[in-house]
Structure 1
Amino acid sequence: MAGFASDNTAPIHPKVLAALAAVNDGTAPAYGNDPVTARLRETMVEVFQAPQVRVFPVFNGSACNGLALARMIRPYESVLSHRQAHINNDECGLPEFFTGGKIVAIDGFGAKLTVEAIGDTIAHALEHAPHTSRPKAISLTQSTELGTVYSLEELAALTAFARAHGLYVHMDGARIANAVASLGCAPHEVVKGVDILSFGGTKNGAMLAEAAVIFNPALAEDFAYVHKRGGQLPSKARFVSAQLQALLEDGLWLELGGHANAMARLLAEGLQTVEGVALLYPVEANELFVTLPRPVAQGLFAKGHQFYPWPAEGPDAYRLVTSFSTTQAEVKAFLADL
């Protein structure tokens, strides 16, 4: 049986569990004033080569996105995102609740925003001012909700455009490790021009740990109040910080993201040899979107394989997600049953 439903279904990595046990000894200052959280900031400085960076641990990705965007826009302003973005489709209005503003959804192949599409949206909004929310930020998902990855060239063009038009840049990095591993670049290259990164750990081996990583010093100011008012300031912050620190140490996060990507590629290679199966998008990270004849999919479900129908991509579309814990044996078993 293969578990391809989501990387959220994966277990906690043993090193993360060990890190939690290691900090569960004695007392430590509360609300992020502990040495573990201080060390996490130092590590983020090293990883992203950003001496000015501020780090705010949080419990989950939706809240992380909401807090980041709340620091960027006012209630009469908007965030431009792809229509498939998690903030638009899967957070039950939480970003709008936190910001009071509006998300403007934009189309684009592979769940990617383009400079042209953003430019057209801004032009329309400004022509209709003040009746339309004023664009103030763009949100990029890296890797995207369809398993594609923005190239460094695409990111450079988008962030340059944002700067030229006075827009903040938020990056939803729930799967940032998969993106960096896919690009084979240094982590700081992926966040160049980004104001706030929602750094994801939960999908990559943590129990529940994300962080708002703020590169823009102006946005770091007063973020502590947003963090607290949003209900995301952990009293025992060391237990959240320890999870992220364990992932970042010795490049474990990239090792795990790279393994998930490799299993996705292995799965994609096998799928491409099966008649009646088609990949809908390039497999660049750890998510695959495929078409399967419905009887075939039902047969796989009957054998206990776990994956989701994805009707947004068509009546016979399905999503399969690999994780750091996916094994070659699982992939081979799935392909054999297919």
Structure 2
Amino acid sequence: MKRGFGSDNHAGIHPRILESLLTANTEHAPAYGTDEWTEAAVGEFKKQFGPDAQVFFVFNGTAANVTALRALAKPHQSVFCSDVAHIHVDECGAPEYMAGCKLLPLPSVNGKLQIETLEKAFIRRGDQHYSQTQVLSLTQPTELGTTYSVQELKDLIQWAKARKLYVHIDGARLSNAAFFLKKTFKEITTDLGVDIVSFGGTKNGLMMGEAVVILNKELAADFKYIRKQSAQLPSKTRFIACQFEAYFKNNLWQDIAGHSYEMALYLYESCKGIPGVHVREVPQSNAVFATIPSHWVKKLREHYFFYVWDETTFECRWMTSWDTQKQDIDGFVQLLKELSR
């Protein structure tokens, strides 16, 4: 299948991460995270997020979000999130079904939540008839490819903390945000008061696996039970952990995030002036959003797969990944130009 722009999830395994799997596939190793690869990977996470970070590996992104919310909220409590948040739109109700808490999606601006909107929704405190908001969940970068600035994060988190709310970051692509902001993971999470991060691996060159990174030590004590009860305790944890060790070692994560961002910029610059193509804005991660005539979609997808983000406007999402090449973009852009004539 030709490399397309459907998702960074569609890319294969980065060679250096694949090599880590082969290396870990030797002899026997203790199960359930008591192996040397898990210990090493946790050490790498602590370097990135701070020495108090507690790390728990799970199989996929939905599990990372669901188990994190289970640790943060009780069934009578609720979670503020954006109206385009993955936990609201693309997880089949799993957070509400499995965590039991209520999601309260709020209108966003380019995928970002605004304090004014949150303030209006923060109501009926102590009212036994109303679900009590307990968590602010932010997606960084957002589902629209935008990235919260450090100041925006600081303001939102300070607002939440002043109201005694926990803060969760859906960080399936947090590496892309850190690269764009030119900040460390610690600077955009731990230092700002984030409580839990769902840290992505699969979209960043791993075969499988995500990590729940707990930055609030008080929330970590019972998480091993939550993970087990949620059917997310990997027996052969070493095969998830070894990938993350390789991902952080020698700053491979920066290479992957940097390349995918450069390719997104190249795609943006290559297609922004084509008649009929209306690009939303300069990429702030590895996503380009553009509106095209509806009858172009089928012809383009015969050669390069991508998703139509909005079926009413035919705004499309074009994602780049660690293996995107300029020739992929050049071929795609040539097709756009031919269709525009």
Question: Which residue type is aligned with residue 131 of structure 2?
Answer: S
Question: Which residue type is aligned with residue 135 of structure 1?
Answer: T
Structure 1 residue 305 and structure 2 residue 325: aligned? no
Distance 1:150 1:136 in 2: 21
Say whether the 8 Å CA contact 2:82–2:108 is kept in structure 1. Answer: yes
Say whether the 8 Å CA contact 1:31–1:233 is kept in structure 2. Answer: yes
The share of aligned pairs that are identical, in percent, is 41
Distance 1:209 1:197 in 2: 14
Matches within 5 A, 1:1-338: 2-48=3-49, 50-123=50-123, 125-126=124-125, 129-191=127-189, 192-302=192-302, 304-311=303-310, 314-338=312-336
Q: CA deviation at 1:316?
A: 2.2
Q: CA deviation at 1:152?
A: 0.3
5+ residue gaps, structure 1, are: none
Greater alpha carbon shift after TM alignment, 160-169 vs 275-284 = 275-284
**Secondary structure, aligned partner of 1:187:** coil
Return the TM-score normalized by structure 1.
0.96
**Secondary structure, aligned partner of 1:188:** coil
Distance 1:301 1:25 in 2: 41
Say whether the 8 Å CA contact 1:5–1:308 is kept in structure 2. Answer: yes
Name the count of aligned residue pairs.
333
Q: CA deviation at 1:307?
A: 0.8
Distance 2:109 2:262 in 1: 23
Q: CA deviation at 1:38?
A: 1.0
Distance 1:296 1:89 in 2: 26
**Secondary structure, aligned partner of 2:142:** coil
Greater alpha carbon shift after TM alignment, 231-240 vs 287-296 = 287-296
Say whether the 8 Å CA contact 1:149–1:284 is kept in structure 2. Answer: yes
Q: Deviations over 1:107-162 (max 9, x none)?
A: 11111112211111113x438x2222100001110111000001000010111111
Say whether the 8 Å CA contact 1:146–1:281 is kept in structure 2. Answer: no
- Taking a change above 3 Å as real, the CA distance of residues 200 and 119 of structure 1, as seen in their structure-2 partners, is same
Q: CA deviation at 1:259?
A: 0.8
**Secondary structure, aligned partner of 1:131:** coil
Greater alpha carbon shift after TM alignment, 226-235 vs 272-281 = 272-281
Distance 2:141 2:313 in 1: 24
Question: Which residue type is aligned with residue 33 of structure 1?
Answer: T
Question: Which residue type is aligned with residue 209 of structure 1?
Answer: G
5+ residue gaps, structure 2, are: 337-341
**Secondary structure, aligned partner of 1:189:** coil
Q: CA deviation at 1:281?
A: 4.2
Q: CA deviation at 1:282?
A: 4.1
Distance 1:115 1:34 in 2: 44
Q: CA deviation at 1:287?
A: 1.3
- Structure-1 residue corresponding to 2:339: none
Q: Deviations over 1:170-212 (max 9, x none)?
A: 0001001111111111221111311010010100100001000
Return the TM-score normalized by structure 2.
0.95
Distance 2:202 2:107 in 1: 28
**Secondary structure, aligned partner of 1:294:** coil
Q: CA deviation at 1:251?
A: 1.0
